[in-house]
Each structure stands twice: as C-alpha cells, then as structure tokens.
Structure 1
C-alpha cells in the first residue's frame, strides 16, 4: 500500500450541505501539545501536500498554541487553495497563565473569539465552527443562540460541538442545526458508541473522529513513549503510564498481527476501522510528517470484511483499555458537558 496513489472520496458531513473529504487533517500537533512547535515552512509544505492529495477538511482551534496554529493555517491556505478546502476551528478553551484553562461559552466571548479567529485565519467566513468544550455555567441554548447569529451574519457557515453528551446535543440542535459533533473515537476509545453516535445519526449530524489513532498509540505502540519530549502532554496521560501501557500494548500487538495479514500498517488498519463505521464519519488523524500523512491516506483503500471488523472490535472492546483519556480535572470531557436549564440564565 505504501506507494499507491489513493483517491480521496468526498462525504456529506451532516445534513446541512457541508461536503468534505472522507478524511481530514488534524493540525494541532504542528504547533502544540505533542512536543515543540514544528518548523513553519515544513508544516506549510505538509498542508499544501495534503490539499494536493484531495484532503479538504483542515482542523484547528484558537487554543492550539494558543493562536499560532490558526495563524499557520491562515498562511498555508490563502489564495486560490482556500476555495478548495474547508477550515474548521474552535472556541471555548481560554488558555490562561501557567497553562490553566477557562471554559467560556457566554455570547460576548463566543463573538469575540469568532472575530479573532477570522482575523488570524485571514478569512471572511469560517466553514465549520465548534464549541471546543461546553461551558457548564451557560445554558447551551444561549451559546447556540450566539452561534446562530454568527451564521446569519455570514461569519460562520456551519456549527459544531466538541466533547458533548447526547442530551446537550439534542438541546443545541433544537436551537440551530448542528452539522458535526467532534469526539474522540478509535479502537481504544469506544464509549461514545453507546449514546453519542446514535444521537448524531438520529438527528442527521456528522461525526468527526479526533485522535482516531489513539494519539499515536495505534500507529507506533508502546515504543512511542520513548520519544516523548518534555513538552509532550501525552507523557502525563493515564493511558500512557507504564503500568497501563504494559496492559494496553496487547491491543497494539493484536492490531499489528491483523495488519500484517492485511498487508497494511497498524495505523492504516485502525483508520480503516473508523472509515468502515459509515459515510457520516470523518476521521482527522494528525501528523507532522509527509510520509506519515501518505500512510494515513492509504487507509482509505483498506477494505475490511464484517468478520475482520468483529475481530477488531472483540480485541478492543469498550473496557479493554486501562487508564482514562485525560488526567482527572485537567480538561472537561463529554461526561462533564451538561449545562444548566435555560430558565436559570441571567445575562
């Protein structure tokens, strides 16, 4: 599969009219969290390469850097290339001193964050704008009300939510249709399958799967921990602690065995599993290397039988992985995303 030219098909993301490549590119690691920021010219070259291969959905956030990842994308995707791609960015995680975070979803903040992102990206309109995390001090109807205004003003085209529970998805969608929910979904993160995925499908909301390679674990296995730099947030995450890694490596070993039979890489197999979940799912694996990008795109040509899907799911069941996704209290997840009722809001 290594040298094959893969055609990147398009999918309809949600039911509001957005069409994107079946696989996107997560850009966070180019600027933050997985080690020091990478050289700008190399990342611009990678983004251009991805676009030339047919990738159209590029994912960022104002909190990556903070701000530097949006500036990078704005520089890389200017000119005629802008007409061929969709930029997704996010608001809601305000980075404070000492890397403390504040979650904001109040209308004034939503608007100011959107205007700042438009400026950094150098665009008149954001294709897909997500609430990165849900502000549980503000009813979701209030946050969505401001996003609806921004759509009406042409500042954003489509609305999404990230790390959000099923009940909050329903409340938000009733105010303004959601185009996408971004959620962590992979062979080692499957708890979203119980309520969140079915809710999205019931309502016609697209699913954007972030960290579809388990933050690199499903492509490199336990050896990846040997390369963590002091700036790499993964070294603190529970799943990557030695006692949990010793258990979790069995999943990687089994995935590697099946990949060998399929004549593909473990990363391609893990991504193919996500692709086989349906045409309403767009995984956004991130990378900083063109060769890894090429390998990831190759997953689009890996075909899995129902028996192979079942085999993968049996070895990576919901409770098969040891360790939480995040350090307790470090960043809220969909399990923390319920907001107060609208009747309690006093602006």
Structure 2
C-alpha cells in the first residue's frame, strides 16, 4: 500500500478514534503489511479473510466496528474502500427462489449442533433475547419467549405455526408453559433432528419444510429470526402464506433484523462464510409486502438487546471452545469471532435493528394488547 494512501486511511480512522497499532483495545493491530493491499484488491472478503488468517487483530472487535460505523467513515471514501465500509452494515442477502431455501440450512444451521449447544442458552434460542430485568442469557431468552406467548394470548389447545423453528425453543416453551400445539418448520436437517428430540412427548410437530409449502389453518403464527432469509423478491409471497394460514381472529408475531434503508447490497464475506442467500429487510420492504393484507398492531425495536445477546453468545463460544475445538479449525474459530463481534458492533452503532412486529388480519374485531416486558 502506498505510504500516502496508508496515511489517509490512518487519518480517517483517527476520526473514529481508531489507530493502526495503537494502544486501545479497539485499535487495529497489523501483523502483515500486505493487509492493505489485500483489502484494496479483495474488498470485504479480503478484510474478513485477513482477520481469519491472523493478519490483523482488535482486542475489542465489536467496539472497532461500532466506532467505524457510528462515524460513517464510508462517506469519506470512494471506490473500493467505500464499498467495504458500507458493506460492514449488511449481514444478510435474499434467496432468489425456493430452490435456494435450504442452502443456508446446510451451510450455517447444520454447522454442528455441538457448536450451538455451547454458544446458546439452555433452550437454544438463536434470536435476540430481551434483557429487561434479566441478568443472564437464559433469563433474557425466557423473557422473550414468554413475551411472545403473552402477545398471542395463548389458550390451552391453540394451534400455533412457528416459521423457522430452529431447535424447537419456542415450540417446547409454548407447549410446556401454555399447553398449546405447535407445528414448527425449518430448512435445517440437524435443527429438525434435535428439535424433535427436545420436544419429545409434547404436542409438537417438527417438519423439514419450506414456508411456501404450508397450507393449513392455525390460531396464531410466529416467526422469530427467519425472515432475514426470505428476500425482497419473496416478501409478498411470504405474507400471502401467513394470510392463508392464519385464522381470521389470529395474531402473527414477526421478529426480524431490520435495516435503516432499503439495502441493495450484501456483505460478500458474510455471504460466503455465514448467511448465504439472505438479506436484511427495511421498513419500506415490509410495509409494501403487508399492504392490503394485514393490520399493523405494533412495531417495536429491540436492537440494543441484540448487541447484548451477541456478546453473551460470544462469551459462551469463547469459554466453551475447548469442548468443541477438535471438531473445528482455528480458522473457523476466528471466523466465528469475526461474525459475532462485528454483528454486535453493528447493533451498537444502531445500523441494524431488531424489530418485533405484530400483525392481524383485517377481519379481527379486537385490538391486540401488547403486554409490558
């Protein structure tokens, strides 16, 4: 990298309080002088892969990301560097059609149940926890699950569809605590296997199934942390499926990461290593997709809770690494560190949001009462 260009990068990083080889834990520590050349040539993939290869470090990678994004340094750059910094805010990309729906299951959610058992809470909730009054990750996740159940006003015998059921966390909780029947669908074989095991003996059915294939009625529907895999081209279809499957008096609760603008790009590193074929929706995306189908009862943002959730996942992952390291490479460990910590920084900078959206059909006579957290 030319000396003059390196000096300009250092100057702009300084505006975010980040220094190259500086003393603060959020400063970039460079271990290979070829880093800048690699990033200029390869963009976001080069930056992430260089971290995976040990070419650079940051003691607090989450805070490094937060400072870069809050200062919006991308506005000062043109060309490749502008794309790099803008793409850090994007974690997901959309699947184009049903043929690709199972790819993220195979490449991400099937990475290994042992990995997720180490990283997540005992109920294995792989979405944002609600930390109000919670001291632990387990408490935060039970807060969230119970809050969703109370929004639905679940009654014994109700039948609930869980779109993107993961390892059965909601299904198990709702069946045990509220005596309801749950059908959970997932595109991950390993999730389905473990979810069936965890929900054994409960009125829960776990299916390996794409959401477009569901065509039956449910009292209520929930979808927690799956909508990021639907994509703009499929949003309307997704909500039409919910519309045809939801009872006239039913309630639909949607949890999704949300973007502050309608994003037309994704981060190539995240696409390659973490979430293939996914995209973060915007308010406009969702608004257009639900138009003339649903009444929007409530829309709340829990983004700061996701920062805390990701940091808790990273702590669990770090503390439990020795238990699973024989199954994964050191490069995988650095990849997972990069994923979790950069994502936490994105939520801390408020570039990403965690939306809880409550929708009903136009025929419902009563408004939905949103319980306090």
Band the TM-score falls in, shorter-chain normalisation: 0.3 to 0.5
TM-score (norm 1): 0.34
Which one has a bigger Cα radius of gyration? 2
TM-score relative to the length of structure 2: 0.32
